[in-house]
Structure 1
Amino acid sequence: MIRIASNGNLVGVISNHEKPAWFDQEFVGSKVTFIPTDARQNGEIIKTIAKNCNVKTHDILVLAVKAEDLQMAKNGRAVLVAAGWSTDPQIKGLGLKINSVQELEELTVLTNGWNGKWWFEGKANTYTIHALVDLSTLHKGVTQQVFAQKLTSTVKKGGSSLAALLAVTARSMLINNIDQTPELLWGVYPSSGNTCSADEVLTDFTHRLRTTTSRVRFAKLGEPLFIRHTASEKRSANRGGDRTNPAGQITTLHLNPFYKGKIGGRNVIVIDDCTTYGVSFGVAAAFLLKAGANSVHGIALGKFGNQLSYYDISINSDPFSPIAADGFTSANLGRFPGATDSTAQQVLQALIP
């Protein structure tokens, strides 16, 4: 903790017990402080700390060992980090996890400078899109396939890099009040060739993110929100075709019948690795709104270029079954409205090397 504090971070030990006699001597001259509180579960201590330190609650990382710590972080709207050595079943089920003090220190270093700004965020009539990083300038020669490989490597490697990527994404979502949204449902947009039950890497990342960010974790593991019943042409490889045409996506997937009757009135978050033209989110929104969703929020970890479009797609048959070529209507209404912000891109370059 002293090493973390020496990097300019304020570190507090929150407890409902009295301060141990050895504490002051152990942490003399450091920025490590003891913070007593009788009921940390309600999260008020997080709000008090944020006010006293002149920071936002989403600027605070809570290392959770017990269920009370989890409740403190969620109610206080802080970024929740699970201690990998905890034996509490609720803590063990969380996705943003560190397994040592060294990983915690690395997490604070990697996330230093992240201001929570999305590279792109915009809202159209029926759905919103947020993208974390500008892939056009991330690294020279990065393509959508290369970025997917980098993301896969980061997720599978785990450790502090994955924890930091989850932390900055969660923080950005907290800033947008995602955790306050009622009736959340989380899903992953399937890759073009994925006709299995779920996208292993993106599903794992999404599960980790939702346990960190939201109070409600409605989404059953092993039951993907979308079913890709037929492999579709990979649009990024279709250099000569119309990469903005949604027909190939609409006719090769449908909603999982498991969620029939469970989508109505819900606010759905759809995660994709990256977006260029916005076809995936336009198609996802069309299916989900047909099934009765209240709102659809697309979250892309990366975005290429300035060609993002808004799609007005109407599904004219059962969205839980394959859609025929004449089972939908579509109109491309032009550029997706929104704004970009490049102030935090260097942090992402370190997280997805």
Structure 2
Amino acid sequence: MPGSGGGDGRDEHGARVAIDYKAVLRSPGRPHDGIADFLKWLDEHGISFVLLTTDSLDAEAAMRAAGLPAAALHLCRDDIPVQPARGGAAWLLTVADRLKLRANQLVIVGTSELDWRTGINAGVVHVFARWANHVRNAKGMITLSVDQPTDVAELLEHFLLDEPCWAFSHDDDARAFKIRSLLPPNVRFPQAPGRTFELQDVFTRGRTITVGAQDARDILMLRLLSSAYLDGTLPHRSLFCVYPSSSPGQVSQQLAGFLTKAKVMVGSYYREDLLERTGQAPDTSLERWRRSRGEASTADISIGAQARTVRINPKYKGKLKGKTVIVFDDFTTEGKSIEWARTLLTSAKAEQVIALTIGKYGASRHTAYQLRPGTTIDPFQVSYHLAATNFVTTPVTGAAGPGPDDALKATMSHFIAAAQSTE
């Protein structure tokens, strides 16, 4: 699939789908219902596909006998270095190498737990083809699942074909830190004919918004993760966590509920308790709203307030060295929360920190915070001694844009129309 963040000289705009043979043919010469139309759709959108089989066969003849187009590439176990069993990363890494792609330009459509593990081990998004397997998902198998081939086309079209587009992005190589924010805060999306909603309804106010038959939170979060995947900012085997809410022991359930399932999108791990709030802090979203209305406020919403109330859970001591940690938050403005998360995690020897947020206030505005020389912290203890004055601040201008708001509006309208057509 299209993606940026390359630099290895490989094709930046190719789109490839790796499909397990059993998801295409139910038996020799007999394609599954809807497969012919799906493969035609792929061709019309310039997306070639790769066929994967365990055993060697004449794939072109088999597809021709079924009245289907030939795959761009067919791989069996004999084509894979050291001929690994299914489930190994080498299958998809070989596909990427043969087609001169990055792994994050691939999706695997599979029919078994082994296909799922192949995707996880290669850091490639997996889609479970329920139409080809009437047995329930294997125990512990959490994945994107679809009922028919047209659902794969829908997933690709609305989440995995567009170039990543961000309201705000910034790469700070010197600090091993990246920021990606999906949307500006004031965009409104269609909910139903004549009705709209805004991001704050879902993530700040915690309302359940249904768009057609879909949860708006799931649409927005899937777009965030898909964009990060294509962008290269959803690395394989990373750790996911959510920045804590203002109250002790709480995280955004709107984020956490999705990430509990989405952690396996590229073989990552979700650790809800990695960052923990140990004391009450001002609700920065509420304070921001009050101040926008001209209301007086004495609440401390500086990075010092974060430092005095958020730490890394001590049970992760010694477990973060060399890791990539992805910190999710609903909104960011100047970046105090995600900068404190970066400070904690890099102090605990994390190799890279990536912040992913749904919304961004303040367009291109961000502030980099560095501890002043001589200031030390224990990331596993609350830093009661820190105040804003313990940090050196540097204004940062990142890349700003509208984000994928038009594409997401089209996606929302699609789901609304789809629901109406079934009524």
Q: Which runs of 5+ in 2 are unaligned?
A: 1-34, 81-85, 190-195, 414-423
Q: Which runs of 5+ in 1 are unaligned?
A: none
| Residues matched between the structures, number | 343
1:121 equivalenced with 2:179 (yes/no): no
Q: 1:52 to 1:24 in 2, by over 3 A?
A: same
- What is the identity, as a one-letter code, of the residue corresponding to 2:311? H
Q: 1:280 to 1:10 in 2, by over 3 A?
A: same
- 1:293 paired residue number: 350
- 2:241 paired residue number: 187
Match of 1:308 among 366, 376, 387: 366
Deviation of 1:312 after TM superposition, in Å, equals 1.7
Note the 1:1-353 alignment, pairs <5 A: 1-7=35-41, 8=44, 9-17=47-55, 18=57, 23-28=63-68, 35-38=74-77, 39=80, 41-43=87-89, 46=92, 56-74=102-120, 77-83=123-129, 87=136, 89=138, 92-111=140-159, 113-124=161-172, 125-136=174-185, 138-139=187-188, 145-146=200-201, 148=203, 153=209, 162=218, 165-166=221-222, 169-170=225-226, 172-173=228-229, 175-176=231-232, 178-179=234-235, 184-193=238-247, 195-196=248-249, 198-214=251-267, 217=269, 219-220=270-271, 224-238=273-287, 239=291, 240-241=296-297, 245-304=302-361, 305-313=363-371, 316-324=376-384, 326=386, 330-331=390-391, 333-340=393-400, 344-350=404-410
SS class of match (1:319): coil
SS class of match (1:2): helix
Deviation of 1:250 after TM superposition, in Å, equals 2.3
In terms of mean alpha carbon deviation, does 338-347 or 268-277 score higher? 338-347
Deviation of 1:191 after TM superposition, in Å, equals 2.1
SS class of match (2:273): coil
Q: 1:271 to 1:161 in 2, by over 3 A?
A: closer
Contact 1:225 1:255 in 2 (8 A): yes
Q: Distance in 1 between matches of 2:300 and 2:208?
A: 24
SS class of match (1:336): strand
Q: 1:48 to 1:254 in 2, by over 3 A?
A: closer
Contact 1:14 1:36 in 2 (8 A): yes
SS class of match (1:308): strand
- What is the identity, as a one-letter code, of the residue corresponding to 2:126? L
| Greater relative CO (CA pairs within 8 A, separation 6+) | 1
Percent identity between the aligned chains? 20
TM-score computed with the length of structure 2 as normaliser: 0.65
Q: Distance in 1 between matches of 2:124 and 2:401?
A: 23
Rg larger in structure: 2
TM-score computed with the length of structure 1 as normaliser: 0.76
- What is the identity, as a one-letter code, of the residue corresponding to 1:16? T
Contact 2:333 2:366 in 1 (8 A): yes
- What is the identity, as a one-letter code, of the residue corresponding to 2:170? G
Contact 1:110 1:164 in 2 (8 A): no
CA RMSD of superposed structures (Å): 4.1
Deviation of 1:281 after TM superposition, in Å, equals 0.7
Q: Distance in 1 between matches of 2:108 and 2:388?
A: 47
